[in-house]
Amino acid sequence: MVGNVPVGGGAPITVQSMTTTKTADVDGTLAQIYALAAAGADIVRCTCNDTDAAEGLAHIVPRSPVPIVADIHHQYRMALAALEAGVHCLRLNPGNIRRPEHIKAVAEASRDRGVPIRIGVNGGSLDPELYERYGGQVTAAAMVESARREMALFREVGFDDVKISVKASNVALMIEAYRLMADDPFFVDDEGRSVPLHLGVTEAGPLPGGLVKATAGIATLLAEGIGDTIRFSLTADPVEEARAGRVLLESMGLRERKGLDLIACPSCGRAEVDVIEVAEKAQSALSDLGLPIQVAVMGCVVNGPGEAREADLGIAAGRRRGHLFVKGQVVRVVPEDQMVDALVEWAHIIADDGVEAALARADESAAVEAEADRQALLEEKGEDANAAGTRVEIIRQI
């Protein structure tokens, strides 16, 4: 338990992020914590690198909407100070605090207070002795060994309330390290419970590359059933980290949808509108509403409603009009310049009253009008607007 949030043991996978403010700036840090929580963060980490930061935590923790983890650097006394401040969890890097007596002192204090610790192994800050032992390079085995050593010290003082991360900026290395962790019986207790794993690609970098790297590593492991909590380490506003984590979990069906999921076709020769422009306007208009629905923006009425029939709500363009559909059924036909406004209106209807109620409000003439537009567009552009049939014939001749 990190505060009131369960991690591991079959609990929902959680999203974490870290503040970028000075922790001594209590109001500024709290403002960022609230923004992170609103974006989907379940747990937030704050740096505790000096006494001012520890004092700031004493004011932040009781006012935070989510559990707070203190990130400890090289001074073990800052871990003790963070515990006094009331944090819900500590993060220790075995490569930074190396003296066994200091590590065990923190573990004992955490044990006595019932506060968990994350063993945060980082490929960029391994103990030099381990680095040399594994051939002067960072390897997955070296990172797992670092976690084993830290865990062994914890067990010497009877402390096992732990979660572990073995992060690297190299995606393949990170994946290999977590796979080794997941298969290592050393990290399974006497009752058969595995230590929860905190997933992340450290120093993933700015958008969009950082988002791709982090997703590649985290999603690969989650798909294999590895991982209990995640963090996107992006060179960006940390709110983007929380959003990315939440979207990933929702997309993989690992968390219930909390916000908008907007899907859109890539456009084609039959498209009647600038799909990218309409999708961007819809994204902007709907994102801040906080409605847990899936919305589709489709470029034409020929295939749009059918292809996106599983979406809660959608719109397809045809003959300067928009066909608004709910679960594939056309409920309204609106002028092209009112497409986004119609999406917002019906999104509220679905969120407030449900899909069945929305379908009950369908305009009886909408389906007839929509089919007329569809047939007219087929006559203008044909069944094969993208010339796929011609391509198929050429392929067959080859």
Q: Quote the radius of gyration of the chain (alpha carbons, Å).
A: 26
Residue 84 belongs to domain spanning? 14-251
Residue 36 covered by a domain: yes
DSSP conformation class of 193: P
Would you give per-residue pLDDT tens digits along the chain (398 residues)?
999 999 999 999 999 999 999 999 999 999 999 999 988 999 999 999 999 999 999 999 999 999 999 999 989 999 999 999 999 999 999 989 989 999 999 999 999 999 999 999 998 888 888 888 898 889 999 999 999 999 999 999 999 999 999 999 999 999 999 999 999 999 998 888 899 999 999 999 999 999 999 999 999 999 999 999 999 999 999 999 999 999 999 999 999 887 788 888 776 666 667 888 888 999 888 887 878 888 989 887 776 777 777 889 999 887 788 889 999 899 999 998 899 999 999 999 998 899 999 999 999 888 888 888 778 877 776 656 556 677 778 878 88
Same domain, 271 and 241: no
Whole-number Å distance between alpha carbons of 300 and 309: 14
Same domain, 360 and 308: yes
Same domain, 199 and 296: no
Nearest to 20 by CA among 248, 241, 213, 199: 241
Residue 181 covered by a domain: yes
Domain count, the chain: 2
Angle between helices 76-85 and 100-113 (to 10 degrees): 10
The CA-atom distances, in angstroms, between 370 and each of 260, 272, 291, 305 are 26, 14, 27, 10
Same domain, 297 and 351: yes
What digits encode the pLDDT tens for the residues 216-237? 999 999 999 999 999 999 999 9
CATH number at residue 119: 3.20.20.20
The pLDDT assigned to 381 comes to: 63
Residue 389 covered by a domain: no
Residue 211 covered by a domain: yes
Same domain, 56 and 177: yes
The pLDDT assigned to 308 comes to: 76
Contacts of 300 (CB under 8 A, 6+ apart): 268, 270, 271, 272, 316, 317, 318, 377
DSSP conformation class of 73: -
Q: Which two tokens stand for residue 36?
A: 């992170």
Same domain, 225 and 265: no
Determine the Cα angle at 379 with ends 376 and 382, to 5°. Answer: 125
**CA neighbours closer than 13 Å in the CB half-sphere of residue 73:** 8
Last residue of a domain, one of 205, 227, 251: 251
**Residue 234 pairs with which residues in a beta bridge?**
205
Same domain, 215 and 268: no
Last residue of a domain, one of 206, 221, 251: 251
Nearest to 170 by CA among 145, 126, 207, 203: 203
Same domain, 265 and 240: no
What digits encode the pLDDT tens for the residues 269-321? 666 678 888 889 998 888 878 788 889 898 877 767 777 778 899 998 877 88
Whole-number Å distance between alpha carbons of 361 and 240: 37
Same domain, 315 and 226: no
Residue 4 covered by a domain: no
Nearest to 110 by CA among 125, 88, 93: 88
Whole-number Å distance between alpha carbons of 258 and 300: 29
Same domain, 247 and 301: no
Same domain, 108 and 176: yes
